[in-house]
Structure formats: C-alpha cells, structure tokens
Chain A
Amino acid sequence: MKRFITPKVYVPIALTILSVIWLIFARQLPSSSSVTTFAGPSTFPTLVLVIMLVCSLVVSIQEVRAAAQQAPDEDAPDRLLPIDIKRIAGFVIAIFAYVFVLDLVTFIPATIVLLVLLLLLFGQRKPLVLIAVPVGFTLAIYAIFEFALKIDLP
C-alpha cells in the first residue's frame, strides 16, 4: 500500500479532482449566449479544464499502474524520511503563520522570529548566527525597501 502513497500517484489524482471541482465553478460563469461577445467568460476556462481533466486522468491511471508493477521498496532514493516530513511540516506552518501575523506584529519582529525558526529547521545551532543573521538581514532589508526604495512594509 505504501508504494501508492507517493507524490507520483496522489498528485495526478488530486489534479483530476481539482479539475472536476474547477470545471463545476467554470460552468457557473456567464456563457457565450448571455454576453455580447462570441466567446464568454466560461469558454476558455472550460476548454482548458477539459484538457486538464483528460490528461490528469490518463496520468493518474499510468502512475497507479506503474506503482502496482513496482516491488515495495522502503529504501527508494527519493522517499522522504519522517524527519524530513516533520521539517517540511514545520516550514509550512512557519511561513503561513508569518503571513497571518505580519500585519499584526509588523515586519521587523515577525521576520526576525521567522528567520530564527528557519535557521533552526536548517540545522543551525550557533547562537551568534541565530542572532546576527536574523537581526542583521531583517534590518538591512527594511532599510533598503523603506528608505531607499520608499516601499512601505507592514
């Protein structure tokens, strides 16, 4: 069963499902007959999504067949280890939390905390680096964008 839980199998299946859902929304858009142009807002998305659906379905079938023919292999070179999955999960949580709190906490503190977390995820443990890089880089970016380029940051 583990050989089917790989990105090569579940990504095309997810894209197939996404194509169907997206197509349902696309069909709700105004059609050609309800607008004065000869091709309405739904024409192009519908055409593209039909192509995407067909191709995703074929690729899903191909990948499921390929996975079924493979011997179960725990040591596949590109299979992620549990520690890698935890790192990625930590990264995803960190970056989306950063986006959510950026406006509340403002740029400098939010970015310093994010950089510390990222450096820890990348295995950095030296205290000097964990302080100097986040503070120095954040302040440098802030100075360049706010004062030199006059682009307001949160």
Chain B
Amino acid sequence: MFDLSLILSFEVIGLCLLGVVLGIIFGFLPGLSATMGVAIMMPFTFGMDPIPSFALLLGVYVGGIYGGSITAILIRTPGTPASAATVLDGYPMSQQHRGREALSAATLGSFIGGIFSCVVLILLARQVANFALKFGPPEYFAVGMFGLSIVSSLAGKNILKGIIAACIGLMLGTIGMDPVTGAMRFTFGITGMLGGIQLVAALVGLFAVSEVISKLAGMSRAANITEVHVDNSKIVSAKTLLKNWVNLLRSSIIGTVIGIIPGTGSGTASWLSYNEAKRVSKSPETFGKGNIEGLLASEVANNAVTGGALVPLLTLGVPGDAVTAVLLGSLMIQGLTPGPTLFTDSPDVVNGIYIMLVIANIFMCILGLLGVPLFVKVLKVPSGILMSCVLVLCAVGSYAIRNNLFDVGAAMLLGVVGYLLIRADFPIPPILLGLILGSMIESNYRRAMTMSKGDPSIFFTRPICLVLLVVAVIAFCWPFIRSLLAKRRAAKSGEKT
C-alpha cells in the first residue's frame, strides 16, 4: 500500500510548487526552456531522496512547457519551441484586446492536456510502451513527413510560398555536421556554424525580431504609438471549453501519443494538433486570426506530451523527449534503473512520480490563472518600450543557448529575413516546421535505406509507416480537396437558385 506521507509533506509539496514557479520563468524567458530548467535544477537534487527530487524536476518540466505560452500570446515571442504554434492565434487574440481570455485558455488547456496524459501514464503505461517499441527509422521518417504535410494548411493562399518556406527551414536544418557521416555541410569555415542553426535562435528571430521590425516600419501609419492597450476580456468560460470538448480530447490524445513516441516532443505535438484542429474546423479561414480553437489545440497538446514522454522513460528507460532525457540522468543518479523492474523494485517512487505530476499540473493551473491579471499588464506598456525590451530579451535568450554570439547574430539576421518574407506574403511557420523536422526526416530516411540496403519498399511494407505516409499525403491534399468540394457546393447552390 502506497504511503501517502511520502508525498504529503511540506518539503515535497513546497519543492513541487517552487519547481512550477521556476519552470514558468524558464518557459517565459525566450532562449531558456524546460530542458534547460530541468538540467540547471538537477544538481540541486543530488542530496535529496527520489520523491522530493522528482517533485522539483517535474514541477520545472510542467511549468516550463506551459510558460512559453505567456510570451507567445502577449508579445509574439514563444518562450519555448512548444509554444510556437500558440503564437498563430494567441497573439492576434491579445491584439484584439482578448489577452485575458487567451492566457486563461492557454492555462486551462495546458492543465487539461497535462492531466489527460497523467491518466494515460497511470493506467496504461506498461501497455502503451509496447507501441513505442514498434517505431524504427522508417516510422520516424513517416512521422516527420506527416508533420511536414501540414505545410499546405499553414501556407495560406499560395501553397508554393509555403513549400518554399518549408524548404528554407529544411535547408537551415542541414547546416552543420551531417548526422550520419559527420561531414560538415554549408559551414564555410565559420566556427559558430559547426553546431548548426539553433532552433530557439530561429524561433526568436523569425517571430519576435521580425515583429519588432514590423512595428517599427508601421509607425508612420500607426494611429498613435503611445496608445495604451486596454484588455476588457474575461477569463475563458466553462461554456467555451465545453463547446470545444472534441478539440480538447483530440489534442490531448495527439500530445500524449507524440510524447510516447521517443525522440519527438512538444513542438511536433503542438503543430500536429493545431493542424488537425484547423482541418476539421467549420471555419478554418479564421485560424491565424484569433481563433481560440487553434490556441487550445496547441496548448493542450504540448502539455499532454509531459505524461506521455514519461511512459517510455519509466517503462523502457527510453526518453520520450529532450526533457525526459535529462530526467533519465536524474533517475540514474538516484540509483534507480528505469524499465520493467522499476515498477517492482521501487513502486513507491513510481507512484510518487505519478502523484507529483498531477500535483504539478494543479499548481501550474492555479499559478497560471492567478497570474493572468499580472501578465496582461505587459500589454499596457507603450509599444516602443515593450518592443525595445523584447529585442534585448531575444538577444540575451539567443546568447544563453550556447554562450555564443553567433546565435545572437543568427537570430537578428533571421529576424530581418523573416520580415522581408512576411512583406512578400511568405508564411513563417513552415520555416520552423522544416527546421524542427528536417533532421528527423533526413537521418531516419538514410538509416532506413541502410537497414533495407537501398530498397525503398521498406517504407511501404511496414504497416505503421505505410499508414502514416498515406495519412500524410491525405493531410497535404486536404486543403485543396476541401476547397474543391466547397466550390462545387457553391456552384450547385448557385444553379438551384
């Protein structure tokens, strides 16, 4: 019988709360991340028992994934890659004086996704772990292609511009060391390029720096640059959440499943979930303009990854994402061996992890909702001051990744490039998609071809891979099919009248 006194102590609950607060700060600040937060806090846990240690680290994990949504919504600067998709509808909502609604929706959505994945973890961990074992290089390639297929949905009016943007992202991802042979690609002898273009630098550059330039360029036409933003919106209502119950459930499932698949992460989950929400929405044209469905889809999915990623970690000793890779180290430092024996040898620790994850999600929800009135005050800061400070935050955040000025330069350059692309009506999200998924697609394609000795039929003879590739093709073509069907319906109704 599990001893609850192991959990219900001031020390453990206090550490969990502290972890969530720190995690939100790490997620909030661009350039930092949940992974970095967990890595920085890990040394502080060396002298602790397992349960207090995980109380702190899981708090940082949950808070970190959620924290990125705050800056994504308020200042178009995703604090972490997990919140990049949140920008698309979260920022327009804040610009439409609906910041409170957006922030509270992100908080409650994150809570719902987090709790759903906790339930899956607790009830089905060992059963679903076998599913993760079936994934090899061909399946990972197919997951990557499925992720890339959403370019057609994100491209807007001109699909070719979306494809070009995705290609730019894929090419940025090839800069640096080739993952299979170790050859240097497109580094031109520049030391800073050996490690490639960092995702976080690209994120802050393409979203935040380009937005700063846009605000500067729009000053002549702005009604009043000192106009103070007033947010009269209310906390998202229970009715709105209930109305979106299908979206919440679907996004929770997507996030949890993506979390269970090792080597993916919150960034992939949030984009996939956003695309699915847009695909099935009755008003897909409103996505990207402040549709709460898009924001909920992204935030529910990215936090649903947290519980899902712990499934392969605890059951197989295989991390589900970058953060759980760090948590694996923490398990070993505590003298615990993840895998089937963990459940039999240390059931108290496993049960403690389950309960702490639930408590961390509860704390995240409470702190997030309490913080909404405070966070929204950021919007009252005059635009010029806010944008100037955002730029400095972007520079510092980019530097913090590797303590390398090259990343700062890369972020600024990508910001200028991003601004020019936006002016030319190119969409930005496909660039990030390409950067996130490019390495996964290329390296797993090459590994799969090595496995099959050059025979491409390997992608069509493995069931999971084949299904994913077929779904990817359908997902890519879906916006065109939908548009064609809509035109036919309009033509038919025109004929009838």
Contacts and interface: CB of A to CB of B under 8 A. Distances in A.
Interface of A: 7-8, 11-12, 15, 22, 25-26, 29-30, 35, 37-41, 43-45, 48-49, 51-52, 55-56, 58-59, 62, 78, 80-81, 83-84, 87-88, 91-92, 95-96, 98-99, 102-103, 111, 114-115, 118-119, 121-124, 129, 133, 137-138, 141, 144-145, 149-154
Contact of B164 (A35, A38, A59): A59
A52 B395 contact: no
Contacts of A114: 391-392
Interface stretch (B61-69, B111-119, B170-178, B353-361): B170-178
B163 A103 contact: no
B73 to A, nearest CB: 21
Nearest to B426: A11
B408 A137 contact: no
Chain A interface helix/strand/loop/mixed = helix
A7 B420 contact: yes
A129 B385 contact: yes
A30 B445 contact: no
A32 to B, nearest CB: 9
Contact of A88 (B180, B216, B408): B216
Given A44-B442, A122-B216, A123-B225, A55 B163 contact: yes
A35 to B, nearest CB: 5
Nearest to A94: B391
B392 A40 contact: no
Given A39-B449, A59-B158, A154 B164 contact: no
30 contacts: A7-B420, A11-B421, A11-B424, A25-B186, A37-B449, A39-B446, A41-B180, A44-B170, A45-B171, A45-B186, A52-B163, A52-B167, A55-B160, A55-B164, A56-B164, A58-B160, A62-B160, A81-B220, A84-B216, A95-B391, A95-B415, A96-B412, A118-B391, A122-B215, A123-B219, A124-B384, A138-B392, A141-B396, A145-B400, A154-B405
B220 A83 contact: yes
Contacts of A12: 164, 424
A37 B164 contact: no
Contact of A40 (B181, B213, B217, B384): B181
Contact of B409 (A40, A51, A96): A96
Interface residues of B, number: 64
Nearest to A82: B220
B425 interface: yes
Contacts of B134: none
**B161, B400, B403 pick with most chain A CB within 10 angstroms:** B161
A32 B218 CA distance: 49
Given A88-B213, A91-B213, A11 B420 contact: yes
A56 B426 CA distance: 11
A84 B217 contact: yes
Given A115-B392, A137-B392, A121 B412 contact: no
B216 A91 contact: yes
A99 to B, nearest CB: 5
Contacts of A55: 160-161, 163-164, 167
Nearest to A49: B171
Nearest to B178: A41
B389 interface: yes
B467 to A, nearest CB: 24
